Amino acid sequence: MSVQLLHYDSERPLPTLEAAGVRLVRTPTSNNVRGDFADISGLIKSGERFEFTLPESTKLTAAFGQEGVVKKLLKFFQSELQVGDPAFDDAVFISTGDEEATERFLEDKEVRELIMDFVRDGGSVVIEGKSVIVDLMNKGLVPLVNEPDVARFVCHVMAFRERVAHGG
């Protein structure tokens, strides 16, 4: 099924994805939930996890998190994909099993901007096969990224899967 980024209902983005066969589990999170990109600042944070299951595999394995001091130190011991966008490269740490596919996915400026918004306050994005997990964190009064942005990101993931499936 083709997912058109410009034709999904921005007022009801999640039902549009559900109609395309995407399942979503949405759960609240807090700073006691630790992952690959956990915040070590000790600030109390809360947020929300959007865990999408796509109808078909993305053929992509990548994780994106905030580029912090620890992640910068890790670069001395392992290489990290850089996409040539200084703002993105300075803000986002990328871990991937397929640099070529991840680099192609990140060619789209809107994809990079969405990821930067998601990881800004310690959130993360993980794409693996049929799974897309977006963890959004909220510090204090800073609002969470809105639902249409998360839905638009998943549309980008599905469009990328289609391009790869059709040799693009």
Q: What is the pLDDT of residue 63?
A: 92
Separation between Cα atoms, residue 33 and residue 133, nearest integer Å: 14
**First-residue to last-residue Cα distance in the chain:** 16
Cβ count within 10 A of residue 87: 10
Q: What is the pLDDT of residue 15?
A: 77
Q: CA 26, 140, 64 angle in degrees (round to 5)?
A: 50
Which residue has better confidence, 57 or 14? 57
Q: What is the pLDDT of residue 67?
A: 72
- With bands split at pLDDT 50, 70 and 90, how would you rate the model's confidence at 44? low
Residues 45/39, Cβ–Cβ less than 8 Å: yes
Look at the block and give the residue holding tokens 């040539």. Answer: 84
For 95-152, write each residue's pLDDT tens digit: 888 889 999 999 999 999 999 999 887 889 999 999 999 998 876 555 565 778 898 8
Q: Taking 80 as the threshold, does the pLDDT of residue 86 lie above it?
A: yes
Residues 123/95, Cβ–Cβ less than 8 Å: no
Average pLDDT over the chain, rounded to an integer: 78
Q: What are the backbone angles phi and psi of residue 52, rounded to the nearest 5°?
A: -100, 140
71-84 mean pLDDT: 58
Nearest to 92 by CA among 53, 56, 63: 63
Separation between Cα atoms, residue 130 and residue 24, nearest integer Å: 12
Q: What is the pLDDT of residue 131?
A: 96
Q: Taking 80 as the threshold, does the pLDDT of residue 10 lie above it?
A: no
Look at the block and give the residue holding tokens 């410009």. Answer: 6
Domain segments of the chain as ranges: 5-165
Q: What is the pLDDT of residue 2?
A: 46
Lowest mean pLDDT, pick from 17-26, 77-86, 127-136:
77-86
